[in-house]
């Protein structure tokens, strides 16, 4: 597993053929946490920005089930990471305390997401300047 303190991309195994379709699957040990919340983003126009926040505790898993999105992450110290998701064979893992912006690049993109923590609005950092202050 890559450095769990930085966002990273993982490959998801895929099976099948064009004539019948494909199946992608993961086992529990490939996900670095036990999901406490599962959600999806859909019906999005393009271009569109989503995210624009950081989590104090939660680790986030994102896979593009359909369409195309760029996931841009930034640490409190200013280090940036960028990942292009354009098929369900790749996922991004975002650790806590990383500002993330999701740029939807195709209409009707569907993102499947899992979080390591239940929803708690108080655990979100929604102000960018407050987030950047954490790295000072």
- 66-100 pLDDT, tens digit per residue, is 999 999 999 999 999 999 999 999 999 999 999 99
Nearest to 9 by CA among 97, 86, 123: 86
- Percent of the chain past pLDDT 70, that is, above it, reads 96
pTM of the model: 0.93
Residue pLDDT, tens place only, 34-68: 999 999 999 999 999 999 999 999 999 999 999 99
* Residue 14 φ then ψ, to 5°: -130, 145
- Which residues have a Cβ under 8 Å from the Cβ of 93 and sit 6 or more positions away? 7, 8, 9, 10, 32, 59, 60, 61
For the chain, the C-alpha Rg in angstroms (whole number) is 15
Question: Within 10 Å of residue 80's Cβ, how many Cβ atoms?
Answer: 11
* Residue whose entry in the numeric block shows the structure tokens 């053929």: 17
In order of their start, the domains of the chain are 8-133 (2.60.120.10)
Three-class SS of residue 1? coil
């Amino acid at each position: 597993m890559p450095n769990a303190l930085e966002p990273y991309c993982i490959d998801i195994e895929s099976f099948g053929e064009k004539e019948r379709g494909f199946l992608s699957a993961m086992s529990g040990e490939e996900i670095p946490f036990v999901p406490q919340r599962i959600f999806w983003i859909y019906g999005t126009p393009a271009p569109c920005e989503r995210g624009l926040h950081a989590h104090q505790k939660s680790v986030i898993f994102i896979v593009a089930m359909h369409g195309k999105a760029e996931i841009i992450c930034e640490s409190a110290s200013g280090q940036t990471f960028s990942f292009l998701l354009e098929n369900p064979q790749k996922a991004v893992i975002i650790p806590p305390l990383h500002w993330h912006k999701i740029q939807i690049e195709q209409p009707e993109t569907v993102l499947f997401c899992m979080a390591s923590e239940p929803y708690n609005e108080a655990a979100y950092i929604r102000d960018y300047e407050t987030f950047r202050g954490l790295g000072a």
